[in-house]
Structures are given as C-alpha cells and as structure tokens.
Structure 1
Amino acid sequence: MKKNIVITGTSRGIGFEMVKLLAQQGHQILALSRNEKPVTNLKLPNVTALSCDLGDEKEIKKAVNYVKQNWEAVDVLINNAGFFLKQDFAGTKMKDVKQVYEVNVFSVFNLTHQILPYLKANSHVLNISSMGGVQGSVKFPGLAAYSSSKAAIITFTELLAEEYKENGPSFNVLALGAVQTEMLAEAFPGFEAPVSAEEMGSYIANFALTGHQFYNGKLLQVSNSTP
C-alpha cells in the first residue's frame, strides 16, 4: 500500500538515501530540508522537495499547507533533521547551543504538533535520536549540547506515545550509532563508521513503514558497537 511520507533533513546522508528508497517503492514523499536541490535534482515524480528552515515558524507552516492542499493524511512522519555541534563546554557559545536545540528539539516538537491533525490512528511518527542521548551509554567530551538534545527527543517520544496510546498515532524513536555520513566526517575526520548512510537509510525506512505494528513509545538502539 502506497503511503504519504514526510521526511526532514533530506539534503544529504541518511535522509537523502531514504527519499530515494521510499520513492522507488512508490510512496509519495514530501522532503523537507534547507537545501532542496539534491532531492529536486533526482527528478522523481512522486517526490516533492521544499526548502524549509525548520527553525522558522512560517516555513513549517508552508510545509503543512502543502500537506493540507495535496494529501488527505500523513501516514509516516520521519523527524530525521539534525544539527551537530562539537564544542568544549568551557568555550560554549550559547547561540550555538540554542541552534542545536532549535533544530534537534523545538522543530521536532513544532512540526509534529502541526502535522498532528493529518495523522491517522495507524500513522507512525518516527524520531531519530543518537546513542549519545541514551542514558548510561558512552559519552564523548564536547557533545553536551548535541547529546542532551537527542536525549530530549527520546523522552518527548515516550510522552507522546503515552498521550495517544488509546487512539493513535504511534510514536517511536531510534538511537543511532556511528553512521558514515558527511556530518560524521566533518565532526570526526578520519573516523570510519561500520555502517553506511545507505544501509542505515534502508533500515530506518523499513522500520518507519512497519515498526508501529510491533512497537509504540519505544527506544530502539540501532548500533552494532559500543558506542
């Protein structure tokens, strides 16, 4: 069955790979990213790419208006967009911390809130977190803002699943380990992750389509190593 799927953070990495894979399966995709050109250049007939700064209220409303005008409902929302910051705590700039939370927490809260009227009982909201946000996991210096923002998304997911458990939709969160993306290469030059963006994109896309049949309000740790 073909689904209407909204994905954020689609200009590169995991999000970009998910757009290609899910479109190939015939689903209708709304791809949201500040840079829409990589997806637009794919020229896929069942994909709409919108330039969307998720930190901007007006731009989120633009995306929601597309849903309102073109789709009756949203079957899957994948909150994949993320902003990474590696910054020693002593040298922390609060404007940078606020930007991390704007993208990783507030935009997820806002977009999910505004998409909510278009979600059905059997819709699935899938949030993408990080192993760094999991309590008790290995932590790394310099990631206070990033990892704590990803921890917030885990609790946010659990709370919404509880609030909507009677009538849906379902909410789950995946905490990803290291994935070979441009963002990882920029943050940790020379480090080679054991999983490619295409491999992780395939896993997430499949879970987004089927995971809510088995899980609700669950954190799944998607990592083949520790950390």
Structure 2
Amino acid sequence: MKNIIITGTSRGIGYEMVSIFAKAGHRVLALSRNEEPVEKMKLENVTAISCDIGKKQDLAKVSDFVSSQWESVDILINNAGKLINKPFAELTSEDFDSVYKTNLMGVVELIRNILPYMRKEGHVVNISTMGGVQGSVKFPGLSAYSSSKAAVITLTELLAEEYKEAGPSFNVLALGAVQTEMLEEAFPGLKAPLSAEEMAAYIVNFSLTGNKFYNGKLLQVSSSTP
C-alpha cells in the first residue's frame, strides 16, 4: 500500500486515477477545488480535500494532513491544469497569471511542501502536454497554457538533477489528445483516440514503476496530433 497525492481530481484523468489507485489498495489524497465528485465515489482509503494549489493556505491543509495522517508520501502526481483558449492579442496579463499560477507555481509550491515527506524511492510525476514539447506542433489560442506546461517540463528536468542523490525521482509525461472536458475546451468537436480512463491507467502504472527506469525524463504519451 502506497500513499499517493493527486491533483486535479474532480474530473477527467485525475478522477479516474483516484478510482484505479483506490481499487488497487493504495491510499489516496485527492486534491481539487471541488472535492464532491471524489467524495461521492465513497472509496475506501481515499481522502478528498478542497484545495486550490495556487493558494498557500490550501497547501498548508495538505501538509497538515500528511504530517498527521500519513507521515510519508510515496507518489505525487501533479495533474491539475488550467486552460484559457484565446488568441494571443486577446489574452490579458491576468489570464497569463491565472494559468501560470495553477500550471506552474501550483506545481512548484506543492512539490516544495511535499518533498520533506518523500524518500529516495518516491516518485513525482508531472503532467504536461505535447503542446509544451519543443519542436512539437503548436496551435493558436493556447499560448498561455502550452508555455506554462513547457515550463513544467524544464522544471522536472532540473529537479531530477538537483535531487538525483537524495531522491525522489522526477519525471514528466507530455500527453496527447485524450477525451476529456479540457480537450473539448481546447479543440471543440475533436474525437480523441484515448479515453480518460485509458490514460489514467497508463499514468497509474507509470507512477508505480517508472522511477525504476527513468529520472528527469520527458515521455511523450501520444498517438496522434494534437
């Protein structure tokens, strides 16, 4: 039984991961601004906390839970994401701040809060997007989202180097098209080749075993464009 923290669990891939981990016998702390979808599943060994990872007071709730209930964390999956789909000329500085606050700074601050509870064998899995990969196909309207996710890729590589002796391991998955609400926001009407449940199963397996084979690596998990 491992202790696992997942962000962005109210819908899509994050929601499906909570169910898969719990049914496999692991303990899960599910973080999302809306905790009700996870609570309604009534899964054993799952705790849902209303948490905006962009707010320090909410992150303090996470640290308090871990220190009092678990004492250690085996896996942290930074899955939460915010997407604004607008032409660059229409994006405001507030739009960029909002997207980066969740997609980058929320990741930074949650990792900072959880690292003291992780051992060398632990695994931090950051979720990025193919649109954040250098040299990949880019799409108009996603400048804030994709650039913030590109920053997550570089952050992962840097943290893996900085913690390569003490651990934990850090890896980043750049996801292609998955049938989620966020995909519909980015590409209305597009039919993706993978369901949220299928991608969730892949990420679950990778988070449990991937650190045996990878550290500081970007894996492109995509069979299509986008």
* Fold equivalence (TM over 0.5): yes
Q: Which amino acid aligns with 2:37?
A: P
Q: What residue number does 1:213 align with?
A: 212
Superposed counterparts of 1:29-40, under 5 Å: 29-40=28-39
Distance in 2 (alpha carbons) for counterparts of 1:191 and 1:207: 26
Q: Which amino acid aligns with 1:42?
A: M
Once the two structures are TM-superposed, the CA of residue 225 in structure 1 deviates from its matched residue by 1.7
Q: What residue number does 1:138 align with?
A: 137
Counting matched residue pairs gives 226
Once the two structures are TM-superposed, the CA of residue 7 in structure 1 deviates from its matched residue by 0.2
Say if 2:85 and 2:185, in contact at 8 Å, map to a contact too: no
Once the two structures are TM-superposed, the CA of residue 190 in structure 1 deviates from its matched residue by 1.1
Q: Which amino acid aligns with 2:204?
A: A
Once the two structures are TM-superposed, the CA of residue 201 in structure 1 deviates from its matched residue by 0.3
Say if 2:126 and 2:173, in contact at 8 Å, map to a contact too: yes
Q: What residue number does 1:19 align with?
A: 18
Q: What residue number does 2:91 align with?
A: 92
Q: What residue number does 1:57 align with?
A: 56
Gapped regions of structure 1 (runs ≥ 5) = none
- Residue 183 of structure 2 aligns to a residue whose secondary structure is helix
- Residue 28 of structure 2 aligns to a residue whose secondary structure is strand
Distance in 1 (alpha carbons) for counterparts of 2:135 and 2:79: 23
Q: What residue number does 1:197 align with?
A: 196
The percent of aligned pairs where both chains have the same amino acid is 65
Distance in 2 (alpha carbons) for counterparts of 1:25 and 1:32: 19
- Residue 115 of structure 2 aligns to a residue whose secondary structure is helix
Q: What residue number does 1:41 align with?
A: 40
Once the two structures are TM-superposed, the CA of residue 167 in structure 1 deviates from its matched residue by 2.1
Once the two structures are TM-superposed, the CA of residue 187 in structure 1 deviates from its matched residue by 2.9
Distance in 2 (alpha carbons) for counterparts of 1:214 and 1:75: 16
1:91-133, Cα deviation, whole Å (9 max, x unpaired): 1111111110000000000000010100001000000000000
| TM-score, normalised with respect to structure 1 | 0.98
Distance in 1 (alpha carbons) for counterparts of 2:84 and 2:204: 26
- Residue 164 of structure 2 aligns to a residue whose secondary structure is coil
Q: What residue number does 2:82 align with?
A: 83
Gapped regions of structure 2 (runs ≥ 5) = none
Runs of at least 4 residues of structure 1 off by over 4 A? none
Q: Which amino acid aligns with 2:22?
A: A
1:124-145, Cα deviation, whole Å (9 max, x unpaired): 0000000000000000011111
- Residue 142 of structure 1 aligns to a residue whose secondary structure is coil
Q: Which amino acid aligns with 1:148?
A: S
For the aligned residue pairs, the C-alpha RMSD in angstroms reads: 0.7
Q: What residue number does 2:151 align with?
A: 152
Q: What residue number does 2:119 align with?
A: 120
- Residue 194 of structure 2 aligns to a residue whose secondary structure is coil
- Residue 189 of structure 1 aligns to a residue whose secondary structure is coil
Distance in 2 (alpha carbons) for counterparts of 1:7 and 1:123: 14
